[in-house]
Amino acid sequence: MTSSRGVIDTRRLRTLRAVADHGTVTAAAATLHLTPSAVSQQLVALEHEVGHRLFVRDGRGVRLTAVGKIMLAHANEVLAQLERAEAEVAAYATGAAGEVTAACFATAISAVLSPAIVALRAAAPGIQLRVRDAEGHQSLAMLLDGEADVAIAVEYRGGPDAADRRLFRVPLYAEPFDLVLPHDHPLAGTGDPPLGLGAASGERWIGPYPGNPVHDVIAFACEQAGFSPRFAHCSDDFRAVVALVGAGAGVALVPRLALRDMTLPGVTVHHTPGPERRVFAAVRRGAESHPLLRPLLDSLQKVSGSLGIG
């Protein structure tokens, strides 16, 4: 393949990253609001500009070639620089006035995002926030796909780590999990010293569906205690999880903030050493100083510092 030595179109770099993120042309096309044919044409054009193949077929999807990986690394840097340029222009032009979309899971909406909105209304009244309810892993995908400007997410195995060059992260809080038992459970009256997870190894468990980061945290915590939890019931709604525990259907690990404002009939809650979920806010790298985003990040950090959940 010979290079056309043209100027690389940044739109094609966004397409490259979308296909790399999603693994198929069809999925990338959906997030970019393009047809699969249009995405394929952009990739072919980018390969002509670069002078090398960037993807090869891999089963039903595609994977990056060695040159594709090099181009993706540079694409991340170029797109981050464009985010910085937009942030500086917005700051010069003025004014923190505009709409910001935040993707966030339900507990964090209640605990940190809603109070941050109240604080932001006084500090930066020109910023209008639009909230999208999304689980901790979904919010990052929405951010990288351009469907959200800020994501409040949870660290989980297999997810983007702190070194990911696509993201700028702001740590918010580390939230402990509590063991929730039916009030008449034989273990309900124990707890001094704190009840370890191993004591519940033979129980029926209730928790979120696989794919939810909390499911992953629970499974890992139980593995660390020497067993694999047997999930008898699944729900991503923690109120439903606690209601099932109260009905005697099993036991559960539930994030402490999710329990804070619940009425808890029929259950006993034990503080359990070990498991926690780490929550952070993220924006696309380069956008961290944008005048519409920086006040929100600062407000989220301030609210998180006052949670008192240790």
Give the pLDDT confidence of 81-106 residue by residue, as tens digits. Answer: 887 777 767 655 555 678 899 999 99
If pLDDT is split at 50, 70 and 90, which confidence band does 5 have?
low
What's the token pair of residue 280?
Answer: 């952070």
CATH 3.40.190.10 assigned to 95-173+279-305:
yes
Residue type at position 276: E
Q: Hey, CA dihedral for 180, 201, 240, 259, is it positive or negative?
A: positive
Give the pLDDT confidence of 131-153 residue by residue, as tens digits. Answer: 999 987 789 999 998 899 999 99
Mean pLDDT value across the chain? 87
Mean pLDDT, residues 263-289: 89
Q: Which fold has domain 10-81?
A: Arc Repressor Mutant, subunit A (1.10.10)
Q: Which segment, 80-94, 101-115, 120-134, 186-200, is predicted with the most confidence on average?
A: 101-115
Preceding amide of 193 cis, omega within 30? yes
- Could you tell me the residue ranges of all domains in the chain? 10-81, 95-173+279-305, 174-276
CATH superfamily of the domain spanning 174-276: Periplasmic binding protein-like II (3.40.190.10)
Query: What's the pLDDT at 1?
Result: 35
Residue 300 to residue 281: CA distance in whole angstroms: 8
If pLDDT is split at 50, 70 and 90, which confidence band does 7 have?
low
Would 95-173+279-305 and 174-276 be classified into the same CATH topology? yes
Query: What's the pLDDT at 234?
Result: 96
What is the pTM for the complete model shown? 0.69
Mean pLDDT, residues 62-76: 88
